Structure 1
Amino acid sequence: MTTATRRTLAFVDWTLRPDQDDDAPPLTYAFRCLTLTEDDAECAAKSPASEDPAEPQTWVFDHMREHPEHTSYAEVIERPWVMWRGCPS
């Protein structure tokens, strides 16, 4: 004998937004070196991540002092995001 089961489905809207709650991870900044080496691989050296965007910029100048030919960089920004469950539709 088979028993029919009734189910109620609720459709929910989700919202993605930057996480700005008090317990959210901090926004961090870093730079990585994009300069290609002799074997066409990226240098890939990377500054430490910092909540202060100026600190990684200092690392860029230090890295270029050690490697004067390394003149191409990418900024790496890590911004926490969170999904919020909205009202049923």
Structure 2
Amino acid sequence: MTRTLALVQWTLRPDRDDDAPPLTHRFRCLTLTDDDSECGAVSEPHTDPVDAQAWTFRHLRDHPEHTSYAEVIERPWVMWRGGRA
């Protein structure tokens, strides 16, 4: 069996094509519980960061001691194949 391989340049870039998945925002609660583990509650993903932020206020209303959060942003990326290296 014989195989011929060529070096090819690849470029990684954010996927902004019309059919790309949307950039999404969510928040997760970082507050430590009595056993020193994170609360772990997580919002639904939202394309509008303000909608994701609103979840933190609802979570705080239900858990007044939960005051620490992290934003999780999911940004789609794509690899583009270029010419030979």
TM-score, normalised on structure 1? 0.89
Count of matched residue pairs: 85
Which residue does the alignment assign to 1:28? 24
| Unaligned residue ranges in structure 2 (runs of 5+) | none
Which residue does 2:7 correspond to in 1?
11
Q: Which runs of 5+ in 1 are unaligned?
A: none
The code of the aligned residue for 2:9 comes to D
What secondary structure, in the 3-state scheme, does the structure 1 residue paired with 2:16 have?
A: coil
Cα deviation code 1:31-78 (max 9, x no counterpart): 000000001110000111000110011110110011111000000000
Aligned: 1:41 with 2:37:
yes
Query: Any idea what SS the aligned residue of 2:82 has?
Result: strand
How much identity, in percent, do the aligned residues show? 69
Change (3 A) 1:8 1:70: same
Question: What is the Cα deviation at residue 9 of structure 1?
Answer: 2.9
